[in-house]
């Protein structure tokens, strides 16, 4: 019989309050089971919670800020897990490296940013046909990597998805190509409550624009990515609205939260992933396959002795001698500035990195060297290939990297969707 831990025992082990432990169970950070009306936690789930960094609320402030002190947020997801380990770990299946690994399925990426999700889907074998992004620097990066370096035939320009002209240009660029998958991570700030209805306000209609485009293109499958905090926005009404709106245009949706570290990314990064289809297929989510998480040290070791090289985004920040001493004195897992524990943080060498965030300066300290991590090292922690080059100034490189979906997470999602398409003989 399994030996379980109680909430009280975990509180004593970690120095956290029982209320805090309950919040982590409610947020699905800490896996637990209800046994005789009491929460019980397996030792291996406790170990994963500690080693993944999910026990640190600073790694996901969005979720805990929105949750407040509520402990009734446990998700009841209906998830169809599918094994993706072989396709995600063997080099011969990598469509980013090998043209013969491409599967013949096409996709469109809305809100593409620099192309993290697109890169991952390309690894999974999909072919990018079109993308939409409004940040000029990100568009420059996307065009360089996907069009100039990989030779994909895409019309990549800076464009605002809210414009009818832009939507028409998107449709024209797709032409008669069959789109099997459409993906996008829409901003969610524009949701609000009016009376008893969830509405999108005038500040942000991007969610509805994506809905319109999906309804027009009608791909077999869709994938939507967002911050985990979306799930608890307006007491779950936002998630309900998304599922309902897509059902109205013919898509059945399944949703759950995925942690990038479970798919080979050397970083704790949790995102809510909606997967839907209109063909009566199964919405598969990729089954986690990492038994031991990849660590920050394993990922950035190769850059330890590498001199500055701006051509590959390995750009050093200039620190005074006094600042270098301060950086070296910061213990692993701590921050240079006590009041800002999620900034200037030194993630441990032998654990996954904390979440790489959008930033304009040095947020992540190197565990062993007297400097902050370079854009190249941060891109590696996001799981970008070393040949993926970011354009723009260092400031905008950091923004693009922090905003991106980790490619290895995208690869796992892509493999899951591919298996569903094959199953339906598409």
Q: Helix 7-14 crosses helix 43-52 at what angle (to 10 degrees)?
A: 40
- Give φ, ψ of 205 to 5 degrees: -105, 15
* pTM of the complete model: 0.82
What's the pLDDT score for residue 66?
Answer: 46
Q: Which of 55, 88, 119, 188 is catalytic?
A: 188
What's the pLDDT score for residue 274?
Answer: 97
SS3 percent helix, strand, coil of the chain, rounded to 5, is 40, 15, 45
Q: Please give the mean pLDDT across all residues of the chain.
A: 88
Q: At a CB cut-off of 8 Å and minimum separation 6, what does 379 contact?
A: 313, 388, 390, 401
What's the pLDDT score for residue 28?
Answer: 77
User: Using CA of residue 39, residue 64, residue 379, residue 302, what is the dihedral sign?
Assistant: negative
Kindly state the average pLDDT of the residues 193-197: 58
CA distance 334 to 328: 12
Q: Is 88 a catalytic residue?
A: no
CA distance 391 to 311: 10
Of 132-146, 202-216, 300-314, 361-375, which gets the smallest average pLDDT? 202-216
Q: What is the SS3 assignment for 414?
A: helix
Rg (CA), the chain: 21
- Residue among 327, 126, 300, 342 nearest 220 (CA): 126
What's the pLDDT score for residue 51?
Answer: 80
Q: Count how many Cα atoms sit within 13 Å of the Cα of residue 289 in the half-sphere of its side chain.
A: 20
CA distance 58 to 61: 5
Kindly state the average pLDDT of the residues 45-63: 74
Element at 108 (helix H, strand E)? strand 106-110
CA distance 396 to 210: 25
Give the model confidence (pLDDT) of 79-130 as tens digits: 999 999 999 999 999 999 999 999 999 999 999 999 999 999 999 999 999 9
- Residue among 92, 28, 116 nearest 414 (CA): 116
Kindly state the average pLDDT of the residues 147-158: 88
What's the pLDDT score for residue 376?
Answer: 97
Give the model confidence (pLDDT) of 293-349 as tens digits: 999 999 999 999 999 999 999 999 999 999 999 999 999 988 888 655 667 889 999
């Amino acid at each position: 019989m399994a030996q379980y831990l109680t909430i009280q025992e975990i509180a004593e082990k970690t120095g956290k309050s029982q209320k805090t432990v309950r919040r982590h169970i409610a947020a699905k950070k800490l896996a637990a089971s209800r046994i005789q009306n009491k929460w019980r936690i397996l030792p291996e789930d406790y170990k994963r919670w500690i080693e993944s960094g999910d026990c640190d609320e600073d790694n996901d402030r969005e979720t805990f800020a929105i949750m407040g002190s509520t402990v009734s947020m446990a998700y009841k997801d209906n998830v169809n897990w599918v094994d993706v380990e072989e396709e995600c770990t063997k080099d011969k299946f990598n469509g980013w490296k090998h043209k013969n690994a491409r599967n013949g399925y096409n996709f469109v990426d809305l809100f593409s940013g620099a192309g993290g999700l697109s890169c991952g889907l390309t690894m999974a074998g999909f072919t990018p046909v079109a993308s939409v992004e409004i940040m000029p620097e990100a568009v420059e990066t996307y065009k360089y990597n996907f069009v100039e370096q990989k030779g994909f035939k895409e019309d990549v320009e800076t464009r605002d998805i809210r414009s009818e002209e832009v939507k028409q240009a998107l449709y024209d660029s797709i032409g008669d190509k069959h789109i099997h998958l459409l993906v996008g991570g829409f901003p969610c700030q524009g949701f609000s409550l009016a009376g008893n209805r969830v509405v999108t306000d005038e500040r942000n209609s991007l969610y509805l624009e994506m809905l319109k485009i999906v309804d027009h293109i009608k791909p077999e499958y869709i994938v939507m990515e967002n911050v985990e905090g979306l799930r608890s926005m307006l007491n779950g009404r936002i998630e309900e609205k998304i599922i309902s709106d897509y059902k109205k245009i013919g898509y059945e949706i399944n949703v759950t939260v995925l942690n990038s570290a479970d798919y080979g990314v050397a970083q704790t990064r949790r995102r809510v992933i909606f997967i839907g289809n209109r063909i009566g297929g199964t919405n598969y989510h990729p089954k986690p396959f990492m038994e031991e998480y990849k660590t920050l040290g394993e990922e950035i070791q190769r850059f330890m002795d590498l001199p500055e090289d701006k051509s590959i985004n390995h750009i050093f920040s200039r620190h005074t001698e006094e600042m270098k001493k301060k950086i070296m004195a910061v213990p692993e897992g701590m921050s240079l500035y006590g009041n800002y524990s999620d900034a200037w943080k030194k993630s441990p060498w032998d654990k996954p990195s904390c979440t790489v965030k959008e930033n304009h300066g040095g947020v992540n300290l190197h565990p062993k060297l007297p400097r902050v991590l370079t854009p190249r090292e941060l891109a590696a922690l996001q799981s970008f290939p070393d040949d993926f080059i970011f354009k723009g100034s260092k400031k905008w490189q950091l923004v693009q990297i922090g905003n991106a979906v980790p490619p290895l997470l995208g690869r796992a999602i892509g493999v899951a969707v591919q298996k569903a398409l094959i199953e339906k003989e598409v």
